Chains A and B, each alone.
Chain A
């Protein structure tokens, strides 16, 4: 049971948090042929764009209504109209998503009303679906913007169906999952004979593939007709607590029952997930997962030497903190410092004394005495100051390659995470011990290594 403390500081230092609108925009990037738009000044979009480019190392479709001082005060209807017309003409998207920002929310633009008027005035936009989400920058965080946007997509696009398709399952994915995670989850679910509709599907759009031609919109992701068909599925599996709202909205609208799977890291969580799928499908768990489970158990046995009693500091959005935090605790770590970005129910049973809603400065202060740091790339400065091993999780990861393919979920993801983190701890220990071995400086070590290699070559 963790106490939740909200930072009372007026000055946030080294922010952990990012804003709602770009969380919403990223969710929209999981829809095929989509052009996300931020209703705000052009900087709102530029910052989001640069952030995602640096994380995914991909082209990012993201537009702006380019509000200035005058249009803000007079209201942004004309800018939204112009933006829709320009985008429709240039990018030819199948859907447009609009997220508001702090600027237009402060003014109080009635975007829902604007869109009605624009539709009346512009029959040429009749066939273009537009989803609007209210995401003021001065409330909540990235994860909230993502969750609201997925709910809104469901509310507006999913259609109730007369028939149920018995082997079709909806998967609603939270913002804590990478494209690699999504691929893994889908593979697991499909191995039970289900056909899946995954929303939002970043594994289709931001997984770093080479398209045949240049597209200004998203390249891949959930198709519009798939979203519309979600009302005919057997059930919805919401992955991550943040998806509860969207799953409920879908259930209210179409009657498709939902199941919440909040954790997918660690032995017992993945066990529960596979058990659920086995019950739902009436099929046994495929052999491959028996094998993977066994590998994970073995990894836990090999790894426990290194994890027991290790004090860790984690800075992450609520659902990611929950997943990583529980798994590390199950491996024997002590969650000494935990900082997150926004309120969430998942903190209630987190195995930590307290969770602080704050910034990396708070985390740095509480991390004194910790042996391991896990947060996004902005933790690099504090890791250097604290001189402790640093494992990058979440978004943004801009100073290492492969962020899109970091898989943390499932037996395999959990196992690889365990090995990576254990290796960091081992490296740190070696570096520490290395300096205390008399007469064996780094140079002699290197020389010894060379000799060994030569010997290997001779004998080999």
Chain B
């Protein structure tokens, strides 16, 4: 347990975090998770966060040590794609019973690791700690250590009991597990001066594959993506990369910063969402690589690629201008996406009537103001009831948000588009932004909206 609280403290001290730097020592110690309100809370737990961050590693067994709820109620519900192994999509759990709670679940966990290895022969097993075994004091670090010795392959403990905090904390705890037990334990077969790591990209709906071809054209090799479409061996040997791009800074900044500290790999925060953001990310990456010994011509090659791709994308976007100009968007999402999507939507003439900034940093907010003007309608928190009313009263034409609030829009008979983790369309890179606008157009132009709003003929007006 002390181990866990130390880890949580360490994560709260994260110096790489902008928000954290602004705090006093005392405040920082309290941590970044707001005290949750019983009866008015929403969102996942630390275990959920750890699983989201690591599950995309495709070729390992993800074994959840806990009662059936943690895995049984949640497995196979995330849309990260794999080009190879499908092992990560299966659910593994110790499904502990009352007797285990009384006598301890360590032996059961050890046997479960053995069974998983016997039957599926993975290169590694990730073991997730959950609330109940954490409470009764199961020492999963010790069990993993023993299992590693016995079975001669990495068994990685992930200290992520749900009651430790929020999903975001879980992302970081997952990062700690990789730093402590995986990264730097193997060597890559060969290296190139253009090897990079991508951190915080989960290949949801295959978004990594919208970015990878661009990097391929520039001769940039993805040594490891943490963790979309990753193989265990790639992450184990990713400490030989020349540069890192961190695309979801909230989630795993601790990995990027500690790898810079330990292995001297410089990192920057970028985004694959939005056209100019994608270009900025490529430029930044190229500069970092050239600074570390990549051929100078990478810079000009990057500029040529950017010019070509941007032009193609804007041309495609223009074809939507006519239908979409003047349509009003309500954008309910977190952090980076709140501003990176805005510019593309504005380009096709759409009006952003509100964007949520609940998870955004001050920097994010500044960028929103720059894009949308000082009177930008930034929403700190909006209850579902308010969202419903706003849509019902037609103060917006479409809502873009996560799956959780989709029925708020649909029940108000208003178009809605999923831009969070359960979405089925990929919106990264140049093609992704075009795809997003195409989807918005498809949603808005559907005649079904007129149909569903028809009153029954026998109803009085």
- Interface residue ranges, A against B (CB under 8 Å): 9-15, 17-19, 21-22, 37, 40-51, 53-54, 57-59, 63-69, 72-73, 79-80, 82-87, 90, 101-103, 106-107, 136-139, 141, 210-211, 213-214, 216, 378, 381, 398
Contacts and interface: CB of A to CB of B under 8 A. Distances in A.
A210 B411 contact: yes
Contacts of B148: none
B321 to A, nearest CB: 33
Nearest to A103: B131
Interface string B34-60: 001111111111111000000000000
Contact of B77 (A64, A67, A398): A398
5 contacts: A12-B72, A19-B73, A106-B135, A137-B68, A378-B75
B162 A42 contact: yes
Contacts of B36: 42, 66, 68
Interface string B301-329: 00000000000000000000000000000
B429 interface: no
A47 B73 contact: yes
Contact of B92 (A13, A79, A90): A13
A86 B162 contact: no
Given A46-B42, A86-B38, 6 more contacts: A40-B131, A79-B38, A85-B39, A102-B66, A102-B101, A107-B135
B75 A69 contact: no
B131 A41 contact: yes
A103 B39 contact: no
Contact of B384 (A50, A65, A214, A381): A214
Nearest to B136: A106
B16 interface: no
Contacts of A106: 101, 131-132, 135-136
Given A72-B135, A103-B163, A82 B37 contact: yes
Nearest to B116: A11
B77 A42 contact: no
Contacts of A58: 407
Given A12-B95, A15-B72, A66-B41, A137 B163 contact: no
A82 B37 CA distance: 8
B39 A9 contact: no
B439 interface: no
B45 A42 contact: yes
Nearest to A52: B73
A47 B98 contact: no
A321 B116 CA distance: 28
A21 B74 CA distance: 14
A118 to B, nearest CB: 12
Contacts of B119: 13
A266 B366 CA distance: 65
B161 interface: yes
A311 B349 CA distance: 59
B38 A65 contact: yes
Contacts of B408: 59, 214
A381 B96 contact: no
**Most chain B CB atoms below 10 A, which of A21, A22, A59, A137:** A137
A43 B45 contact: yes
A136 B36 CA distance: 23
A145 to B, nearest CB: 10
A138 B39 contact: no
Nearest to B5: A69
Contact of B163 (A51, A68, A86): A68
Interface string B90-128: 111111111011000000110111111001000000000
B69 interface: yes
A451 to B, nearest CB: 32
Given A10-B108, A12-B93, A106-B132, A101 B39 contact: no
The prevalent SS among residues of B at the interface is helix
Nearest to A83: B39
Contacts of B155: none
Interface centre among A9, A37, A211 (most CB of B within 10 A): A9
B432 interface: no
B430 interface: no
A210 B67 contact: no
A82 B39 contact: yes
Interface of B: 36-48, 63, 66-77, 86, 89-98, 100-101, 108-109, 111-116, 119, 131-132, 135-136, 161-166, 384-385, 388-389, 403-404, 407-408, 411, 413
A103 B135 contact: yes
Contacts of A10: 94, 108-109, 111-112, 114-115
B75 A41 contact: no
Contacts of B73: 18-19, 22, 47-48, 51
A42 B69 contact: no
A9 B45 contact: no
Contact of A42 (B43, B86, B91): B43
B38 A83 contact: yes
Contact of B48 (A12, A43, A213): A43
B91 to A, nearest CB: 5
Given A18-B68, A46-B45, A381-B90, A138 B101 contact: yes
Given A58-B407, A87-B39, A46 B90 contact: no
Q: What 6 pairs between A and B have smallest CB-CB spacing?
A: A43-B45, A83-B39, A86-B39, A11-B112, A10-B111, A137-B67
B206 to A, nearest CB: 17
Nearest to B73: A47
B161 A69 contact: yes
A109 B74 CA distance: 25
A107 B163 CA distance: 13
B63 A11 contact: yes
B70 A47 contact: yes
A139 B17 CA distance: 42
Contacts of A59: 384, 407-408, 411
B98 A46 contact: no
B369 to A, nearest CB: 31
Contacts of A53: 403-404, 407
Contacts of A42: 36, 41-45, 162, 166
B92 A41 contact: no
Contacts of A136: 67, 98
Contact of A14 (B91, B97, B98): B91
B64 to A, nearest CB: 9
A137 B111 contact: no
A139 B38 contact: no
Nearest to B405: A59
A221 B86 CA distance: 41
Nearest to B135: A106
A175 B116 CA distance: 32
Nearest to B107: A10
A63 B41 CA distance: 7
A291 B45 CA distance: 54
A15 B68 contact: yes
> B44, B46, B100, B166: which has the most chain A beta carbons within 10 Å?
B44
Contacts of A40: 131
Contact of A138 (B48, B98, B113, B403): B98
Nearest to B89: A381
Nearest to B164: A69
Contacts of B86: 381
Given A63-B39, A210-B413, A51 B164 contact: no
A246 B163 CA distance: 33
A138 to B, nearest CB: 4
A41 B408 CA distance: 25
Contact of A86 (B40, B68, B95): B40
A315 to B, nearest CB: 13
A59 to B, nearest CB: 4
Contacts of B71: 12, 15
Given A86-B40, A90-B40, A43 B72 contact: no
